[in-house]
Structure 1
């Protein structure tokens, strides 16, 4: 059995998420095999504890991922400490797994399980899930945007009764909002100002329109001695569909950085 990371969610029992009609779970569901394997390997490498629910009933035990085998489409997990619940899991056709990764809740379901031996100890083999729920709520994980090809946010503004579009360069993005560089010589962003119908394009993901509210603005120094204005903005009324797009973008950026 792997030793859990002391910084992981030790002995934290997590429950499956209940979604409202306005917060449909499909908006958080990932089906890409590449994305799923990336998430599962990340959970394994972090030695994160997983709450496994064996149905029928609410019985559960804590486990962890020991190995991920994409060729045979299976993964090895720790055997439960409670033999009765472990046996119930062996006869279950729906196993619900709940854990966290980078403060983001991860849930998935497996429907095939068998008892195996792994590295001389009892373990379970389960199928790699067909989909994964990656539930990133606002103000969670924020990722820096690429320096070479930075993201842009197009902000509609009115200057001297004339409509125009201001462009700001994003420094980071999350489902809570964006950090950006204010280099526009005409527009002066002020905390508390709300801008509607702003547009952000996520490469290979899609383009979305949203409302942003400026939360803070401050000067930062450059290496050459110059300065620039950094603005922090929050998303207002972000839809679940848009959150899912940002989720996918963050995963792709994580994958790219892991490959470097």
Structure 2
């Protein structure tokens, strides 16, 4: 259960989105992915701000148990009884927290007061969808070493067209880092490549425009020195960003198992 006073905690506010952003850009619907994220929040004992019916009054809480079979989770009861009663009477419960520097929001519409390990608690339904918001400081994940992701870059010049592949070092919703050792590709900062494709296993293929932002020398795990090029996505489509988010979640799940 939580300890400490509400006054010493920074309170997170629900994010204002357009309907298009909510539906396409950030929302996760997969039950497996939702449960994985919720368990991560519970295991890290992350503080959650709960807003009954989107009102200004809030409750500071945390997830203490998850029952996937019954599609229910247990969260801490608040310290303000008036706000707790308001939550019990509300039609929508908005939860806001962070995980790995990424803002997480979800809504529940079923709540009841229970006793959990001898203390008051709320039982709420597992949300049917979840917002994982990465507008700033995009969470990067390293790509597999054995079978790295590849970025296929179209090359045009003197009336001919060809394609070149470069290996990715990491990926986020904001961009990619690649190994700069291809004899044809120029990774000078500022250069833009359009119609680049990145195949995400079991997810789909990203089609994106990238702009080179920086290059510098790094040492790989095998001791080899090479140049790393950091590239930013330009006007990445919402559907492409959603695919990257699903890929990142899948890789996090795989690494948790190992």
TM bucket (normalised to shorter chain) is over 0.9
* Residue 204 (structure 1) shift: 1.1
C-alpha deviations, 1:210-240, integer Å up to 9, x for none?
1101111122235666422211101111122
Q: Distance in 2 between matches of 1:25 and 1:138?
A: 19
C-alpha deviations, 1:96-135, integer Å up to 9, x for none?
1111111111111111111111111111111111111111
> Counterpart of 1:63?
61
Match status 1:207 vs 2:205:
yes
CA 1:53 to 1:256, structure 2 compared with 1: closer, same or farther past 3 Å?
same
RMSD: 1.8
TM-score (norm 1): 0.92
* Residue 159 (structure 1) shift: 4.3
1:79 counterpart (77, 80, 94): 77
> Counterpart of 2:214?
216
> Counterpart of 2:103?
105
CA 1:149 to 1:224, structure 2 compared with 1: closer, same or farther past 3 Å?
closer
SS of structure 1 residue aligned to 2:21: coil
C-alpha deviations, 1:139-176, integer Å up to 9, x for none?
32100011111111011122455321111100100011
Match status 1:252 vs 2:253:
no
Alignment check: 8 A CA contact 1:138 1:175 kept: no
* Residue 27 (structure 1) shift: 2.7
> Counterpart of 1:7?
none
> Counterpart of 1:129?
127
Q: Distance in 2 between matches of 1:247 and 1:76?
A: 27
Which region of structure 1 is more displaced relative to structure 2, 132-141 or 93-102? Answer: 132-141
CA 1:57 to 1:45, structure 2 compared with 1: closer, same or farther past 3 Å?
same
> Counterpart of 1:119?
117
**Structure 1: which 5+ residue stretches go unaligned?**
5-9
SS of structure 2 residue aligned to 1:245: helix
CA 1:222 to 1:138, structure 2 compared with 1: closer, same or farther past 3 Å?
same
Q: Distance in 1 between matches of 2:242 and 2:115?
A: 38
Alignment check: 8 A CA contact 1:153 1:200 kept: yes
Q: Distance in 2 between matches of 1:78 and 1:246?
A: 33
Q: How many correspondences in the alignment?
A: 255
Alignment check: 8 A CA contact 1:24 1:240 kept: no
**Structure 2: which 5+ residue stretches go unaligned?**
none
* Residue 184 (structure 1) shift: 1.2
SS of structure 2 residue aligned to 1:23: helix
Q: Distance in 2 between matches of 1:155 and 1:58?
A: 49
